[in-house]
């Protein structure tokens, strides 16, 4: 279980600085402040496990990986060609092309095995060890080989271009033994796992999967596949939440749909809190008569956060029951996805020990292909995609509707335009912050 007070490395101050000049609407909390406080108050899970390398993709590394060996382990050739000793070439008569006998071959895994004889060349393959004494490799395209491959001929122009170290990869050039090659807290990508394999690792110490219970509330909801009652809608939020949780490596328990009934919710949440690290739900977190999640959590535990200065997704609850974190996302489907991606996912990654940079969305400035006026006080995300305009310039375009009930907008979109709390207008060509879905951890 993981909601005990723990330090998060001082993220509160850093995030608070970001929003110091942004004034939210009264009674609302800026998302940066809310997330920083959550990361300070919610502990990094202590549980770890040694997992086989092929099961580590997407996992959070929980210990530094120190290089045990140099990579490359020896000086080796970057190209197919011939290893040479440049001092030998410098001593040869300057009479045009040079003819040099070939003393042998160095192949990857099968080195030449002795010092290169003076005045000779060694045929060498890419990745093969450089013979002792050689200090350059001339690529095979720049030499002419006789019929029995016992001698090569090099034109003087090609010789004059050679420099010490040409086409040689030095030992330790990629990785130096003793250095940290993978830092604890890193979310492991294929290239990271490959680096670990290159150090001879066959397993890594990673965070155990968080146990997350997911459910939806709302008497108007129906299970996909069942008959749709009059005025009802099929539950889609639960599938979005399950997908986001699984994408970051969580072990998900699907509790299905729960009725808008205090006793039903109280019993389900109380039971789930006993054997899960997180309870994630959508709906029931506003202030309507049927919005029961807040009083239910209050009756079983405590509420830590309520109402964020964001759009979509203002009614977003954080609380706990015992040691189990409870996150209540809004009921509208776009609000579920946006608040899930930008609040719930970063918080759960923190719980698994992810570094700040591996749980912070990447934003980059893109010219706006639209104009907009808006009220200030809430950070807003517009579903968007990049489009090449008539001048060949990439610009950000928002979806035609800002309604948080239009889930197909998330299918159309390829990212989000982020508008700060104090930004009241966007003009054509103004830079806006763009967050690509491809750069988010849950995609």
Residue 188: CATH number of its domain: 3.90.105.10
Q: Residue 286: its pLDDT value, please?
A: 60
Helix, strand, or coil (residue 33): helix
The answer to whether the beta carbons of residues 359 and 346 sit under 8 Å apart is: yes
Report if residue 236 sits inside a domain. yes
By CB neighbour count within 10 A (0-12 exposed, 13-18 middle, 19+ buried), where does 163 fall? exposed
Cis peptide before 153 (omega within 30 of 0): no
Question: Do 189 and 305 reside in the same domain of the chain?
Answer: no
The answer to whether residue 2 sits within a structural domain is no
CA-only gyration radius of the chain, Å: 30
- What local confidence, expressed as pLDDT, does residue 443 receive? 67
- Over the stretch 361-380, which tens digit does the pLDDT of each residue have? 999 999 999 999 999 999 99
Q: Report whether 207 contacts 277 (CB < 8 A).
A: no
Do 353 and 420 reside in the same domain of the chain?
Answer: no
Domain end position, chosen among 112, 146, 169: 169
CATH number of residue 112's parent domain: 2.170.190.11
* Average pLDDT score over the chain: 90
Kindly state whether residue 3 falls inside one of the protein's structural domains. no
Angle among Cα 393, 419, 282 to the nearest 5 degrees reads: 120
Q: Which domain holds residue 52?
A: 48-65+176-207
Q: Nearest-CA neighbor of 28 among 377, 437, 383, 398? A: 377
Per-residue pLDDT at 201: 97
Do residues 21 and 112 both lie within one domain? no
| 180 in Cβ contact with 65 (< 8 Å) | yes
- Whether residue 196 is found in the same domain as residue 229: no
Give the model confidence (pLDDT) of 57-113 as tens digits: 999 999 999 999 999 999 999 999 999 999 988 888 777 789 999 999 999 999 999
183 in the same domain as 134? no
CATH number for the domain including 432?
2.40.340.10
Q: Are residues 58 and 183 in the same domain?
A: yes
Peptide bond between residue 255 and the one before it cis (omega within 30 degrees of 0):
no
Angle between helices 293-300 and 262-274 (to 10 degrees): 50
Query: Of 118, 152, 169, which residue sits at a domain end?
Result: 169
Q: Is the CB of residue 27 less than 8 Å from the CB of residue 235?
A: no
Same domain, 203 and 217: no
- Residue 71 included in any domain: no
247, 294: one domain: yes
Consecutive sets of 10 residues in the chain, 443 residues long: mean pLDDT of each? 32 38 73 94 90 96 97 96 92 83 96 93 97 96 93 89 95 96 96 97 97 92 92 94 96 94 94 97 67 89 89 90 95 94 96 93 96 95 96 96 95 97 96 94 74
Q: Which residues pair with 49 in a beta bridge?
A: 206
* Cα 379–Cα 380–Cα 384 angle in degrees, nearest 5: 145
- As given in the structure block, the two tokens for residue 253 are 């328990």
Is residue 70 one of the residues assigned to a domain? no
The answer on 54 and 202 residing in a single domain is: yes
Residue 381 and residue 285 in one domain: no
Residue 1 lies in a domain: no
Last residue of a domain, one of 184, 207, 230: 207
pLDDT score of 95: 72
Number of separate domains in the chain? 4
CATH code at position 280: 3.40.980.10
- Indicate left, alpha or beta for 430 from its phi (over 0: left) and psi (-120 to 50: alpha): beta
Q: How many CB atoms lie within 10 A of CB 5?
A: 8
Same domain as 405, residue 382? yes
Please report whether residue 6 resides in a domain. no
Residues 215, 354 within the same domain: yes
321: Cα separation from own chain's centroid: 30
Tell me how far apart the alpha carbons of residues 319 and 281 are, in angstroms, rounded to a whole number: 12
Check: CB of residue 304 under 8 Å from CB of residue 297: no
**Could you give the CA distance from residue 327 to residue 316 in angstroms, rounded to a whole number?**
8
């Amino acid at each position: 279980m993981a909601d005990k007070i723990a330090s998060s490395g001082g993220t509160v101050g850093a995030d608070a600085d970001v929003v110091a000049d942004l004034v939210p609407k009264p009674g609302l909390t800026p998302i940066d402040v809310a997330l920083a406080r959550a990361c300070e108050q919610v502990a990094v899970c202590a549980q770890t496990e040694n997992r086989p390398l092929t099961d580590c993709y997407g996992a959070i590394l929980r210990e530094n990986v120190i290089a045990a060996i140099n990579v490359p382990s020896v000086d080796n050739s970057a190209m197919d060609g011939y290893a040479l000793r440049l001092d030998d070439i410098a001593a040869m008569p300057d009479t045009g092309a040079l003819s040099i006998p070939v003393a042998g071959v160095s192949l990857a895994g099968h080195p030449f095995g002795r010092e290169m004889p003076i005045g000779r060349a060694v045929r060498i393959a890419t990745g093969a060890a450089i013979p002792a004494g050689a200090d350059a490799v001339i690529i095979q395209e720049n030499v002419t080989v006789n019929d029995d491959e016992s001698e090569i001929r090099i034109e003087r122009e090609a010789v004059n271009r050679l420099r010490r170290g040409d086409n040689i990869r030095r030992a330790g050039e990629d990785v130096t033994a003793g250095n940290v090659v993978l830092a604890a807290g890193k979310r492991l990508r294929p290239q990271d796992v490959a680096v670990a394999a290159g150090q001879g690792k066959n397993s890594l110490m990673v965070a155990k999967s968080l146990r997350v219970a997911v459910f939806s509330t709302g008497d108007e909801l129906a299970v996909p596949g069942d008959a749709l009652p009059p005025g009802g809608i099929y539950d889609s939020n639960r599938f979005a939440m399950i997908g986001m949780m699984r994408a970051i490596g969580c072990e998900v328990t699907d509790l299905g749909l729960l009725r808008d009934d205090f006793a039903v919710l109280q019993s389900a949440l109380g039971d789930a809190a006993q054997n899960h690290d997180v309870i994630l739900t959508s709906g029931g977190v506003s202030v309507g008569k049927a919005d029961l999640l807040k009083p239910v959590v209050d009756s079983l535990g405590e509420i830590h956060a309520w109402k964020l200065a964001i759009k979509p997704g203002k009614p977003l609850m954080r609380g706990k029951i015992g040691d189990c974190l409870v996150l209540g996302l809004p009921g509208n489907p776009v609000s579920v996805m946006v608040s899930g991606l930008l609040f719930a996912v970063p918080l759960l990654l923190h719980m698994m020990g992810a570094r700040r940079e591996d749980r912070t969305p990447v934003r980059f400035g893109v010219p706006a292909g639209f104009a907009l006026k808006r009220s200030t006080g809430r950070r807003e995300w517009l579903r968007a995609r990049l489009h090449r305009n008539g001048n060949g310039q990439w610009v950000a375009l928002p979806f035609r509707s800002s309604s948080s009930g239009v889930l197909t907008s998330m299918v159309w979109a390829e990212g989000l335009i982020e508008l700060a709390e104090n930004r009241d207008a966007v003009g054509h060509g103004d830079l806006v912050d763009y967050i690509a879905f491809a750069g988010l951890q849950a995609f």
